[in-house]
Amino acid sequence: MGGMDVLLRRAVPEDGPGIHTLIFEESPHFDTKGYPEGIWPANMVVLVAEGGGRVVGWLEAALDQVYEGRGAPTPPPHGYVLALVVSQAWKRLGIGRALMEMFLEEMRAAKVEWVFLIPEEGEGFPGRVRFFTRVGFDPVEEPEERPLVMGRRV
């Protein structure tokens, strides 16, 4: 990726403090849950990108969700991306896209056919929507509805 060595993998408990630091630096309003202690729910898919000896990207998602709205094209279970954060210094290198692709592989392996997410409102919202569109997500219902829900087949 962009000449920088980045390792993508499933998170292990030892990554917890690094994930916590990334959240604190890039998205301090996010709940850090049990990450400082290296603890997260067993049903969560937690992926990290490691670069320069630290966690520079993090994706948190689930494979067992049910989208309650009217726009899901497949029956549950549905995938749900709860968070995707990349360190500012490591943006635009394909890390976010690579983490998303890795999660889609996990979905395929679990035979989950559809995934949704809700881009975070506020500063940077249009850029987040553009990113998710580029990785294959489209608005599930009316794009003007808030919160905006985006989804894609796997």
- Report pLDDT digits (tens) over 88-123: 999 999 999 999 999 999 999 999 999 999 999 988
Q: 31 pLDDT band (50/70/90 cuts)?
A: confident
* Fold designation for 6-115: Aminopeptidase (3.40.630)
Which tens digit of pLDDT belongs to each residue from 53-85? 999 999 999 999 999 988 899 999 999 999 999
Statement: residue 143 has pLDDT above 90:
no
Whole-angstrom CA distances from 146 to 121, 140, 142 are 9, 11, 9
pLDDT number for residue 151: 97
Could you tell me which residues are beta bridge partners of residue 2?
none
